[in-house]
């Protein structure tokens, strides 16, 4: 019995040894078919031995699902050989926005900079990009690019050009740190859109300043009637003196140039002293010869004598003294058209038709002055006239005939007093 059992044990051991041999041989045969493979799976390095036949099989065996845009080198259908190097780079979706225009693409590039190079999108020095060029690409990576353009800035009359990516005037001013004072003005709407074809920003610098100017204040001439002085005489009682007037102006400047100047206040710093002139109003005394009695007769004709009126110095001989000059003389009567017969000094010529009296310009010959006129004799300057200006006189005649006979002539005249 013991021998029989021993026999069975030997047979069992033999079977086990044969099974182990077969298994070992199979493993040796299988291992002999495996290849050494190096893989770069999205940046992860893996070394392995595999019996897979193709690149696709080994990737699938390592749970790599290859998508349409992924990078696989060599291709998935490539047969595996010993020491094959496999690279798999997962593709990411990228959304690129350039000044509001977007496009999508799939890429296996690692950074934003690499993606833009592959997409042939140039980024200028002044352009703005988000995120930064060095940023690693992730799934659904957004990339925003604002292209810079030149903006002409006319600020306070000075012009310069800057590069900007801002889309409105208001944002541009903030971005460029351009400050506006209370009175400064930006031309147009600050919310207006800036574009590369229409990028001009105009700023008017406005300021208001106060200017104080001191000027002279003219004095007035006050004329007062003086009954103690003869008509035509004047006397300065108080000399005039100019005062000082302070004027305050508000000046508005635009870009450094004055555009308005407004008077906003006046202050009399020193009052002027007005000139006071006394003007004579006393009528001159005129000596009038009394008329002859009604029954008196002329020596030659026996007719009644006419009333004779003359100044006190009745002689017609030229005096030795007095202010002498020549004047243009004409003649008139108390009954001329528009005449009242009353002179400027109050003498009634119609009551005294033979009075020797002349009309003068008081600025040349003062009223009330006694004068001598060549061809006329002594007279009094007792009247004025609208046409009597400068060296012009008008001689009173008793009749129109005498006036017409005198006509117009140049005469010598002397002002006695």
68-120 pLDDT per residue, tens: 888 999 998 999 999 999 999 899 999 999 988 999 999 988 899 999 998 88
pLDDT digits (tens, 9 = 90+) for 342-390: 999 999 999 999 999 999 999 999 999 999 999 999 999 999 998 999 9
CA dihedral of 366, 369, 373, 376, whole degrees rounded to 10: 120
pLDDT band of 337, cuts 50, 70, 90: confident
Residue 300 reports pLDDT greater than 50:
no
What is the layout of strands, in order, in the sheet containing 141-146? 101-107, 92-98, 141-146, 128-130
Decide: helix, strand or coil at residue 58: helix
Q: What pLDDT, on the 0 to 100 scale, is given for residue 233? A: 85
Question: Angle 80-83-86 (CA atoms, 0-180°, nearest 5)?
Answer: 65
Residue 294 reports pLDDT greater than 50:
no
Q: Measuring CA to CA, which residue among 335, 236, 343, 316 is closest to residue 280?
A: 236
pLDDT digits (tens, 9 = 90+) for 199-222: 899 999 999 999 999 999 999 998
Q: How far apart are CA 101 and CA 301, in angstroms?
A: 134
Q: What pLDDT, on the 0 to 100 scale, is given for residue 13? A: 74
What is the pTM (predicted TM-score) of this model? 0.48
Q: Which residues does 320 contact at the CB level (< 8 Å), separation at least 6? A: none
Q: How far apart are CA 308 and CA 328, in angstroms?
A: 27
Residue 29 reports pLDDT greater than 70:
no
pLDDT digits (tens, 9 = 90+) for 130-188: 999 999 988 889 999 999 989 999 998 899 999 998 888 999 899 989 999 998 999 88
Q: Which domains does the chain have, with CATH numbers?
A: 36-89 (3.10.20), 92-146 (3.10.20.90), 149-204 (3.10.20), 214-282 (2.20.230.10), 323-415 (2.40.40.10)
70 in Cβ contact with 108 (< 8 Å): yes
Q: How far apart are CA 55 and CA 188, in angstroms?
A: 66
DSSP state, residue 167: S
């Amino acid at each position: 019995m013991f021998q029989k059992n021993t026999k069975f044990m030997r047979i069992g051991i033999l079977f086990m040894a044969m099974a182990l041999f077969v298994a070992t041989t199979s493993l040796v045969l299988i291992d002999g078919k495996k290849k050494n493979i190096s893989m770069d799976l999205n940046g992860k390095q893996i070394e392995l031995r595999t019996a897979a036949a193709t690149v696709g099989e080994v990737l699938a065996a390592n749970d790599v699902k290859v998508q349409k845009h992924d990078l696989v080198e060599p291709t998935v259908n490539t047969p595996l050989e010993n020491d094959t190097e496999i690279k798999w780079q997962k593709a990411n979706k990228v959304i690129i926005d350039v000044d509001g225009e977007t496009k999508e693409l799939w890429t296996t590039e690692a950074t934003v900079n690499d993606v833009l190079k592959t997409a042939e999108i140039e980024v200028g020095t002044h352009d703005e990009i988000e995120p930064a060029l060095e940023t690693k690409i992730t799934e659904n990576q957004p990339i925003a690019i604002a292209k810079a353009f030149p903006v002409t800035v006319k600020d306070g009359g000075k012009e310069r050009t800057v590069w900007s990516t801002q889309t409105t005037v208001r944002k541009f001013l903030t971005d460029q740190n351009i400050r506006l004072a209370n009175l400064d003005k930006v031309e147009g709407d600050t919310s207006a859109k800036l574009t590369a074809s229409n990028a001009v920003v105009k700023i008017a610098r406005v300021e208001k300043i106060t200017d104080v100017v001191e000027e002279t204040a003219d004095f007035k001439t006050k004329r007062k009637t003086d009954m103690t002085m003869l008509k035509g005489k004047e006397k300065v009682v108080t000399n005039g003196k100019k005062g000082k007037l302070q004027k305050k102006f508000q000046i508005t400047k635009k870009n450094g140039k004055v555009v308005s100047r407004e008077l906003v206040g006046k202050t009399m710093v020193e009052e002027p002293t007005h000139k006071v002139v006394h003007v004579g109003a006393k009528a001159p005394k005129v000596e009038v010869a009394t008329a002859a009695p009604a029954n008196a007769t002329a020596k030659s004709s026996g007719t009644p004598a006419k009333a004779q009126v003359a100044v006190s110095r009745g002689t017609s001989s030229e005096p030795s003294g007095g202010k002498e000059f020549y004047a243009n003389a004409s003649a008139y009567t108390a009954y001329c058209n528009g005449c009242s017969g009353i002179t400027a000094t109050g003498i009634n010529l119609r009551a005294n038709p033979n009075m020797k009296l002349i009309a003068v310009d008081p600025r040349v010959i003062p009223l009330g002055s006694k004068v001598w006129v060549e061809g006329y004799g002594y007279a009094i300057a007792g009247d004025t006239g609208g046409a009597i200006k400068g060296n012009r006189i008008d001689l009173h005649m008793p009749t129109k005939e005498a006036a017409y006979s005198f006509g117009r002539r140049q005469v010598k005249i002397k002002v006695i007093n």
